[in-house]
Amino acid sequence: MIRGLYTAASGMIVQQKRQENTSNNIANIETPSFKRQSLIVEARDSLGVIKRNCGENTTIGTIEMGVEIDGTVMDFSQGLLRETGLHGDLAIDGQGYFITELPSGQTAYTRSGSVRRDTEGILRNAEGFCICGEKASGGRVEPIKIETEEFTVDGEGNIIDDDGKRIYKIVLADFEDLSLLKEDEAGVLVLPEGEEDNEISAKNARIVSGMKEASNVNALDEMVKLMEISRSFESNQRILQSLDETLGKAVNELGKL
């Protein structure tokens, strides 16, 4: 009976975490390029029940220990591309990511492409992170610095100044294993230390100017999920209350003996 209390409680905790995750998806439904997340729920390791007989142990069953959260999965599918008409709004059509540089110097990745040129000429996205690319003359990938105030970006990622001269190319990255990407506190994606070789060049992506990528959250799906979570939470709650009442009666009856 005590074990049943813990099993029901673990179910309630898991449903609470699922509710928080789903609510976060809904809250970010209007956030450009946001990717929905879901939780992995798995059964806890069960305990074996062993019968001892004449020095020999025989497994006669298992005791289930409830459920727990085993991790988070991100849905990397592309959101809808919405036209804005602003040349500073860049969207990626296909599988690829803008390469950014965080203030710490760490490389990060994002599909958020609303860019602007700061007072020093550095190209930054809406979150303020540097957008990286290669100079027209070639060289390493570095934060893009544009001397002219007016510029355009073509489908190949080429940045063209007001004289029609190609000055930089925005480099898009892809990955051999997307599951290695982790979201950090700033909302961008990073690779774990030692996994830098997972980054490859994006082969099937192009940059579209004057558009934003919407989140890939489906409001109806998330609302249905919230209702399912609520029912599961209430079921575990009723089981917990029932076991608590039964345990209370057992204690009171034993106290009368």
Predicted confidence band at 2 (pLDDT cuts at 50, 70, 90)? Answer: low
Asked if 149 contacts 161 with a C-beta cutoff of 8 angstroms, the reply is no
- What pTM, to 2 d.p., does this model score? 0.81
| pLDDT at position 257 over 70 | no
pLDDT tens for 160-211 read: 988 889 999 999 999 999 999 999 888 899 999 889 899 999 999 999 999 9
Question: In whole angstroms, what is the distance from residue 232 CA to residue 17 CA?
Answer: 12
| Cβ neighbours around 28 below 10 Å, total | 16
Higher pLDDT, 79 or 149: 79
**Model pLDDT, residue 131:** 95
Q: Note the pLDDT of residue 78.
A: 96
Cβ atoms of residues 219 and 12 within 8 Å: no
- In eight-state DSSP terms, residue 178 is G
pLDDT digits (tens, 9 = 90+) for 112-166: 989 999 999 999 998 999 999 999 888 889 999 998 888 889 888 999 988 889 9
How far is 14 from 57, CA to CA, in rounded Å?
A: 35
Burial of residue 200, with CB atoms counted within 10 A of its CB: 0-12 exposed, 13-18 middle, 19 or more buried: exposed
Domains of the chain, residue spans: 2-76+217-256, 81-213
Q: Is the dihedral of CA 212, 204, 197, 140 positive or negative?
A: negative
Q: What is the mean pLDDT of residues 25-54?
A: 81
Helix (H) or strand (E) holding 201, with range, is strand 199-201
Question: How far apart (Å, rounded) are the C-alpha atoms in residues 79 and 182?
Answer: 19
